[in-house]
């Protein structure tokens, strides 16, 4: 009986990309220069993509072409010999976390078939509500925080007092924080780390049950790729934080009232997601330099099979020297 050969798991190629970026950025951990760390990660990630057999286009990258020399929106990635795909990248998610040596800085890549990834365009900010699989039918973006938390707790089999909510510590969330405290839930306040926060909300091994609040739209799309695999849910709505952003969105034809689900953000199950820890965090340990080399900790996900792999990789001194050459030359 003839059987079909299994398709190549491109997620394993992507995790090599995030490993390279994380190793490059980790040299700058706590050194107060987030821009240098981000540049090192961008350079390493871009070089690593040269070996990946995809015909990729960056949908979510480091910025428009005139602002970012590499990994800009619209840039082509890969050898050009593989499947046509949309690519979302964040070489350092949490640049300030990296600069000050704080937890949860990660390197992230997501990939989906061409045309299936939501393009944020001029949308920088989005209101988000992220929950694990068991609570995916219990949320409503138009409901109050108190009502959502009550329904989430019921779906998870917990008391509201036992819920932990990830919220970005920003002035715009003053009212939201007051509502969450009124409901009786616990709060983890984080200065940065939008993608990490969404992942913590959907992965069972973390202490976070929910993510609420307004964060980056590009980060929302990146997180949606992982949420598609593990079965959680994200509801979002574009939430411009300035008159200029709002005007640009309306001019581009975006509907500011539309509620976006995970399915709207990633319109395919054939999705890949990879992340590697830079600084240690709740769900990924950071890069550990050992003298002879380094150890990285990553997660890689594949939507078609629902596979989630945890990878601990040992990197040789020679590999580190190659990445150091990217950093400093």
> Any binding-site annotation on 94?
yes
> Any binding-site annotation on 328?
no
Within 10 angstroms of residue 263's Cβ, the number of other Cβ atoms is: 13
Q: How many CA atoms lie within 13 A of 8 on its CB side?
A: 9
Closest CA to 78 of 86, 67, 68, 69: 86
Question: Distance between CA atoms of 245 and 234, rounded to whole angstroms?
Answer: 22
> Any binding-site annotation on 122?
no
> Any binding-site annotation on 172?
yes
> Any binding-site annotation on 217?
no
> Any binding-site annotation on 31?
no
Closest CA to 213 of 227, 230, 225, 201: 201
> Any binding-site annotation on 205?
no
> Any binding-site annotation on 214?
no
> Any binding-site annotation on 270?
no
> Any binding-site annotation on 282?
no
> Any binding-site annotation on 169?
no
Q: What token pair was written down for 39? A: 């540049």
**Length of the chain, in residues:** 329
The CA radius of gyration of the chain, in Å to the nearest whole number, is 19
Q: What token pair was written down for 320? A: 């580190």
> Any binding-site annotation on 30?
no
> Any binding-site annotation on 194?
yes
> Any binding-site annotation on 219?
yes
> Any binding-site annotation on 95?
yes
- Residues making up the annotated binding site for Mn(2+) are 38, 62, 90, 93, 219
- Residues making up the annotated binding site are 38, 62, 90, 93-95, 125, 170-172, 192-194, 216, 219
- Residues making up the annotated binding site for substrate are 93-95, 125, 170-172, 192-194, 216
């Amino acid at each position: 009986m003839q059987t079909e050969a299994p398709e190549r798991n491109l997620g394993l190629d992507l995790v090599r990309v995030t490993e390279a970026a994380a190793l490059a950025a980790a040299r700058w951990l706590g050194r107060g220069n987030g821009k240098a760390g981000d540049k090192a990660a961008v350079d390493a990630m871009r070089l690593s993509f040269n070996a990946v057999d995809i015909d990729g286009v960056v949908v979510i990258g480091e910025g428009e072409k005139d602002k970012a020399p590499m990994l800009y929106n619209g840039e082509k990635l890969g050898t050009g010999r593989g499947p046509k795909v949309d690519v979302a990248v964040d070489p350092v998610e949490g640049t300030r976390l990296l600069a000050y040596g704080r937890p949860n800085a990660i390197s992230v890549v997501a990939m989906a078939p061409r045309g299936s990834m939501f393009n944020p365009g001029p949308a920088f900010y989005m209101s988000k509500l992220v929950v694990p699989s068991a609570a995916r039918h219990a949320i409503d973006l138009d409901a109050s925080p108190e009502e959502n938390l009550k329904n989430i707790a019921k779906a998870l089999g917990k008391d509201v007092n036992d819920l932990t909510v990830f919220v970005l510590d920003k002035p715009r969330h003053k009212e939201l924080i007051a509502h969450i405290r009124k409901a009786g839930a616990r709060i983890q306040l984080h200065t940065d780390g939008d993608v990490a926060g969404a992942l913590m909300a959907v992965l069972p091994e973390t202490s976070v049950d929910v993510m609420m609040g307004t964060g980056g739209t590009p980060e929302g799309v990146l997180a949606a790729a992982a949420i598609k695999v593990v079965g959680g849910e994200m509801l979002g709505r574009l939430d411009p934080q300035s008159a200029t952003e709002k005007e640009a969105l309306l001019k581009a034809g975006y509907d500011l009232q539309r509620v976006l689900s995970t399915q709207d953000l990633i319109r395919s199950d054939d999705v890949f997601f990879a992340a590697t820890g830079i600084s240690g965090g709740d769900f990924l340990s950071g890069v550990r330099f050992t003298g002879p080399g380094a150890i990285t900790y990553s997660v890689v996900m594949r939507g078609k099979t629902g596979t989630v792999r945890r990878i601990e990789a040992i990197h040789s001194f020679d590999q580190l020297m190659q990445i150091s050459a990217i950093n400093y030359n």
